Amino acid sequence: MEKPLMFKLKKFSKLIIVTFSALFISPLCQADAVLNNTDTQLLIASDTEREYKIFTAWPSHPAPKEGWPVIYILDANIMFATMVEAARMMENRNKQDGSLIVGIGYNNNKERKKERALDLTPRLGSTPNAMVGTGGAEDFLRFIKDDLKPHINKRFKINQQQESIFGHSFGGLFVLYSLIKKPSLFDTYIAASPSIWFENKLLTLPSLRGQLSTQLQSTPRTLITVGEYEQKDDPDFPHPSIKRLKAAKLVDNAREYAHWLDEQPSINSKFALITGENHGSVIPAAISRAVRFIFSKKTITP
């Protein structure tokens, strides 16, 4: 039997009310999911004039007398929130004072893939790399040392004996390069799935490795992690090019580099193979391992 017109209008009006209610409620629900005590700022490198987006997260209570520990994280556009939540969960569970998280990323109008390829990769001397658009790691390292860290030290009370850096893939390569060039810039260096294959394993050259011993003035701690399926195929998510995957030798290279570091005087180096993960899926697990390594009371602090 056909419903009366008035009944249809009432039903339709209820639908409108419910729909508008949902529209008004949604922003409030979304706001609850935003990370608290965070902000972003643009910072210009003093020598290259390159622009970086700096993500910062801080605890909700005053800094301890010695200042906040700091974790610097690369590729912040995609990894910052994961690092913040992982650190805060670890701190809350273990009743720790908290830490400052500083992410280095790029503004939304930048081509992040090209930007990171330049910033996170080294070159040897003035010879251009075979891979076009790479080789800016020395400039990027200078930006962190001369511009970013002083900027953070002005904004917050920092414990300069507890500063860590984390990077994945090209970011992991940069972390290891930073360790060799500036081993006292951070206290803890964590390289996840480092791209040691880059430029015919440039980072393993004796001329570069040999610089580490001459730079050591502290006792840096290092952790190198890599996923189980970064050198063999992932049965759940097959790699598009098994030949390229095997040729990169991410697992073998990471293990060898960690072993070499551990043989160096005054370096405490650890290696972790993360089971069941590939180059992409390993990121949250690697961040979790990094946070554990940074705050573990069983790990020797420099």
Q: Given a cut of 80, is residue 124 above it in pLDDT?
A: yes
Q: What pLDDT, on a 0 to 100 scale, did the predictor assign at position 76?
A: 97
Question: Of 68 and 299, which is predicted with more confidence?
Answer: 68
Q: Given a cut of 60, is residue 4 above it in pLDDT?
A: no
Q: Given a cut of 60, is residue 8 above it in pLDDT?
A: no
What is the arrangement of strands in the sheet containing 38-44, beginning at the earlier edge strand? Answer: 38-44, 51-57, 100-105, 68-74, 158-168, 188-192, 221-227, 268-274
Q: Which residues are catalytic?
A: 169, 230, 279
Radius of gyration from C-alpha coordinates of the chain: 23
Q: Tell me the pLDDT tens digit for each residue of 146-167.
A: 999 999 999 999 999 999 999 9
Q: What pLDDT, on a 0 to 100 scale, did the predictor assign at position 34?
A: 76
Taking the CA atoms of residue 297, residue 267, residue 274 and residue 38 in that order, the dihedral angle to the nearest 10 degrees is 60
Question: Of 145 and 110, which is predicted with more confidence?
Answer: 145
Q: Do 79 and 284 form a contact (C-beta atoms < 8 A)? A: no
Question: Of 225 and 19, which is predicted with more confidence?
Answer: 225
Q: Do 44 and 53 form a contact (C-beta atoms < 8 A)? A: no
Q: What pLDDT, on a 0 to 100 scale, did the predictor assign at position 151?
A: 97
How far is the C-alpha of 96 from the C-alpha of 74, rounded, in Å? 24
Q: What pLDDT, on a 0 to 100 scale, did the predictor assign at position 217?
A: 74
Q: Could you tell me the pLDDT band of residue 92, with boundaries at 50, 70 and 90?
A: confident
Taking the CA atoms of residue 30, residue 35, residue 39 and residue 45 in that order, the dihedral angle to the nearest 10 degrees is -110
Q: What pLDDT, on a 0 to 100 scale, did the predictor assign at position 80?
A: 97
Q: Given a cut of 80, is residue 1 above it in pLDDT?
A: no
**Number of Cβ within a 10 Å radius of residue 127:** 9
Strand bridging mode 68-74 / 268-274: unpaired
Q: Tell me the pLDDT tens digit for each residue of 207-258.
A: 999 888 777 777 899 999 999 999 999 999 999 999 999 999 999 999 999 9
Length of the chain (residues): 302
pTM (global) more than 0.85:
yes
**What does the pLDDT average to over 124-153?**
95
CATH code assigned to 33-295: 3.40.50.1820
